[in-house]
Amino acid sequence: MTRKKHFGYIWDRLMDIVKEHDVIYDADLMIKLDFSPPSWKVWKAKFKEKSDYTRITFTRPDGTKTDHKITYHKKTKSWHWEDL
């Protein structure tokens, strides 16, 4: 029996992985998040939807804020960490 996946936890892991790599190919991200290809197909659509409207804000120790966004590039089949 497989364990139920929690969207928020996996989204946080996805953010950390994409941030660490700046650019990561879709298949590599699927492997790092421990998905099978059939389940990745379903979850990837949800992650793409969330990334379309989610802006990530970090506050540095000096108090400045930086905004970032995760985007999926269909042509290269890769996820990107972008500064706004």
- Give the pLDDT confidence of 24-45 residue by residue, as tens digits: 999 999 999 999 999 999 999 9
Predicted pLDDT at 76: 95
38 assigned to some structural domain:
yes
28 assigned to some structural domain:
yes
What's the pTM?
0.85
Q: Which residues contact 57 (CB under 8 A, 6 or more apart)?
A: 65, 66, 67, 68
- How many domains is the chain partitioned into structurally? 1
Domain with 45 in it: 7-56
64 assigned to some structural domain:
no
| Cα 76 to Cα 58: distance, rounded to the nearest angstrom | 27
Name the residue among 39, 8, 21 with its Cα closest to residue 30: 39
26 assigned to some structural domain:
yes
Per-residue pLDDT of the chain (84 residues; tens, 9 = 90+): 466 778 999 999 999 999 999 999 999 999 999 999 999 999 999 999 999 998 988 888 888 888 999 999 999 999 999 988
